[in-house]
Each structure stands twice: as structure tokens, then as C-alpha cells.
Amino acid sequence: MAEDNQSTTTGDDGSFAIPVGDSQTKTLRFAIDGYMFLEKRGVAPSTGIDIKLRKATKSAATLREEGYLANGCEIENPEKPDWNIRFESSLLKGDLAPDPTYTRRDPSAVILANGKYYVWYSYSLTHDTNKLAPWDLNDLYFATSTDGETWDEQGPAVSRGPEGSFDHRSVFTTEIFVHDGVYYLIYQAAGDVDGIYNRNVIGMAKSESPDGPWAKVDEPVLRPTYTNEQYFDNNAVHDPCLIHYRDKFYLYYKGECNCFENEDCQRWCNPCCGLKKQVKWGVAIADHPTGPFVKSEFNPITNTGHEVMVWKYGSGIAILQHQDGPEAKTIQYADDGVNFEIMGSAIDMPEAAGLFRPNNPENTPHGGIEWGLSHVLKWNAGPKGWMYIQKYQKVK
């Protein structure tokens, strides 16, 4: 029971008892080795609670990782010519030209609406000494362009919430999703200082226009897996990306484990193959864009991260794997959107890429990543670093 930090073990018949006040609702969390973690919120005291846990299944990426550990970390990349890709980058003009006064980071996908390009991004003042990180004390801003090169900043789209809310401290790392004429911004949120580096959540806002106004969904749409054991997303859920696929809504995200120290560095998720850090992705699936989202029994679905870059291709889903894992700088594909296989290499990858999502993308492996926006981090500017947005495109 989360609120009182109480725990118990069920009897052989599955029964358990935790005493509470007559009218108190609680958050109950259920875990069995080999099964998916389950959290039920707002449970009133009752008898006969019916709980069924789903059996966990290892994804193709997890099985590959186990193979790497057994064979000395030899990564097999087929280097398929149709999949291999190289990128180049250039500076933007207008309001999004580099300016160390402002930190603009983690651009969303770029979409075309009302005859203009739109992008959303995390925004803060670079020299704010109250910031703990570039993503701290952020709001979500947006900008428009007629050519993808020169941008006009339009101002805030989604701002931090009131004191006590799940997004009071910072709203950041957003993605745009459009479905049936409704626009959805899905974003990371921190309610307090602890959420900047630890357990933050994913929130959502929606609008009938890309220009707003935006109405926030009352509760987070995704939370970390709150286990006491080391699990790929028990510390944080980051970098959300929502895709409509197979008549469902697939919310891809980056998970991070609880951190621990070794002699030389901070390590995440007991990284394999001599890496100092390893990040993995998960996916949660819903029947509606706002959820409820159910985490896949195949999670984690990658053995590498960091930021989430996902697009539809053919009958499946393609992804870019940037860093923080054994399969860094690869392009991958899964016919089922879950069990990804390496297809080729990605050279000079953009960081935190927001993909341009054309209404009718070319049906090729690269049709969803021809160009877009990304960010650049300069740690030597400002008290916590400075970031700006640039354009990237595929090298022809």
C-alpha cells in the first residue's frame, strides 16, 4: 500500500489484509516475479478485490542483450543499404536562431497545419540560477514557419501547473500527436524538485487547434513502475511519443532505473558490455489517445535508448537508437511494433530529434525521417548549460 508504505504477502489462496480507516482510499501495488507489475489507484476498503497479473515476456531486444552477455558483446548489424542512413545539420533563422539568453530543447515532431509548419519545445531562461538542470523550470512553447528554416516563436502552449499539481515544477520534453482533428501534446512533468532527476510522470493536454488553447488531462497518463526492485522504468518515464497503430494508441517512452554508484561513475540499469550507462524503452497501449495506457508485457522493448524516435513504415514501426546501450547508432524495425530487429546504421545522428511527420510519407524506410529539428547542448554556457534547436536532414 503506497501511501503508508505497508506491504504484505498473499496467502496460498491469494488472500491478503491491510487495515485502513473506513473511508480511506489507497493505492495498491501488486508484484510477482515473472509477471507484470500492477498498480490500482483510489481503491476503497473492500473485500473480494479481483486481481489478475499478466505474465511478462522477453522482447527480441532483451533476448539479444542476453546473447551479448554470453558471446562477449558482439553486435550483429546487417547494414542493409536501403536502411543505412546519414544525417547533416544546419542552424535555424528567426526566433529559433541560437541565443544563449534562452534554452530551447527537445523539439516535438514537426507537423504541417494551416499552411505552416509547427513545432513545440521546452523553454526556459538559460541564466535562471534556480534551475537544477536544463529541463528544470520549463514551459512548453511553440513556433511556426513557412519554410522550416526561419521560425517565429508564438509563446507558451502549456505552462507549469499550480502548486501541488503533478506538473508544478516543470513541463518539458513534449511530443505532438494529431488524431481525428484533435491535437494532443504529451510531455514529461515534475511536480517538485525530486521529479527533475527522479520519479517524474507523463502528462497530456489537448486542443482543437495547433494554436490552442490547450486543456490539460487532469491526471498523468503514465507513471513509473513503482517497484522496490531494479526495473527499467521504476525511476522515470521520459521522452513520450504517441503513435496510432493497428487501431490502438502506442505510447513509446524511455525508462530509467534507480541509480547506484560504483567505483568510477554513476551507472544506470546495471549496464551491459562495459557501458557506463544503459537506457531502455517501453511501450504502453490504449484504446483511446488519453488512455488508460497498459504497459506491454514485452517491456523493455529495446536494450538501448536514449531519446525516443519512432515512425510508421510498411506494416510496422521503425526506430532510431541514439546512445546509452549496446545497439547505439542503429536503425531498427518491428513488424509488430514491439520486437525490434537491427536493420542498419545511422551516422551523425541528431540529438533529441523531432521528426517531420508528412501527411503522406514516402513508403520507404526513411520516409518518416527525411528531416526535422533537434537540439544541441552546450554545458559551458549558463549555470546549468545552454541548449538551442537546429535543423537536421538526411544526406541524399
Which residues touch 290 (CB under 8 Å, ≥6 apart)? 184, 204, 206, 217, 221
CA distance 187 to 181: 20
Give residue 5's pLDDT band: very low, low, confident or very high (50, 70, 90): confident
Question: Mean pLDDT across the stretch 221-246?
Answer: 91
Q: Residue length, the chain?
A: 396
**β-strand partners of 120:** 142
CA distance 311 to 309: 7
Question: Mean pLDDT across the stretch 283-292?
Answer: 98
Give residue 39's pLDDT band: very low, low, confident or very high (50, 70, 90): confident
C-alpha cell of residue 36: 507484470
- % the chain with pLDDT above 90: 73
pLDDT computed for residue 22 by the predictor: 65
Q: What are phi and psi of 66, to 5 degrees?
A: -60, -35
pLDDT computed for residue 268 by the predictor: 62
Q: Note the pLDDT tens digit of each residue in 173-201.
A: 999 999 999 999 999 999 999 999 888 99
Q: Note the pLDDT tens digit of each residue in 13-36.
A: 878 888 776 677 888 888 888 899
Q: Note the pLDDT tens digit of each residue in 204-217.
A: 999 999 999 999 99
Selected residue with higher pLDDT from 325 and 25: 325
For residues 309 and 319, is the Cβ–Cβ distance under 8 A? yes
DSSP one-letter code for 110: B
Question: Mean pLDDT across the stretch 44-69?
Answer: 89
Q: Are strands 116-125 and 201-207 parallel, antiparallel or unpaired?
A: unpaired
Is pLDDT of 265 > 50?
no
Question: By C-alpha distance, which of 220, 241, 223 is closest to 233?
Answer: 223
- Encoded amino acid at 240, one letter: P
C-alpha cell of residue 66: 542476453
Question: By C-alpha distance, which of 195, 197, 173 is closest to 185?
Answer: 173
Is pLDDT of 370 > 70?
yes
- % the chain with pLDDT above 70: 96
The string of DSSP letters for 158-214 reads E----TTSTTSSEEEEEEEEEETTEEEEEEEEESSTHHHHS--EEEEEEESSTT---
pLDDT computed for residue 262 by the predictor: 44
Cα dihedral 59, 325, 266, 385, rounded to 10, equals -120
CA distance 357 to 313: 12
pLDDT computed for residue 263 by the predictor: 42
Domains of the chain: 1-56 (no CATH), 60-394 (2.115.10.20)
For residues 376 and 391, is the Cβ–Cβ distance under 8 A? no
Cα dihedral 326, 331, 335, 340, rounded to 10, equals 10
Q: Note the pLDDT tens digit of each residue in 85-119.
A: 999 999 999 999 999 999 999 999 999 999 999 99
pLDDT computed for residue 99 by the predictor: 97
Q: Note the pLDDT tens digit of each residue in 122-160.
A: 999 999 999 999 999 999 999 999 999 999 999 999 999
C-alpha cell of residue 79: 547494414
Question: Mean pLDDT across the stretch 366-378?
Answer: 96
pLDDT computed for residue 24 by the predictor: 78
pLDDT computed for residue 30 by the predictor: 87
SS3 112: strand
Is pLDDT of 386 > 80?
yes
pLDDT computed for residue 359 by the predictor: 85
DSSP one-letter code for 222: B
Segment among 15-24, 223-232, 296-305, 367-376 with least mean pLDDT:
15-24
DSSP one-letter code for 323: B
Alpha helix positions (H), 293-389? none
Which residues touch 261 (CB under 8 Å, ≥6 apart)? 267
CA distance 23 to 234: 29
Question: By C-alpha distance, which of 174, 199, 196 is closest to 185?
Answer: 174
Helix, strand, coil: what percent of the chain each, to 5?
5, 40, 55
Chain mean pLDDT for the chain: 92
- From residue 149, give the alpha-carbon distance in Å to each of 104, 114, 117, 350, 390: 16, 17, 10, 16, 9
Task: Tell the residue number behind the cell numbers 551516422, with chain if given.
Answer: 347
Is pLDDT of 260 > 70?
no
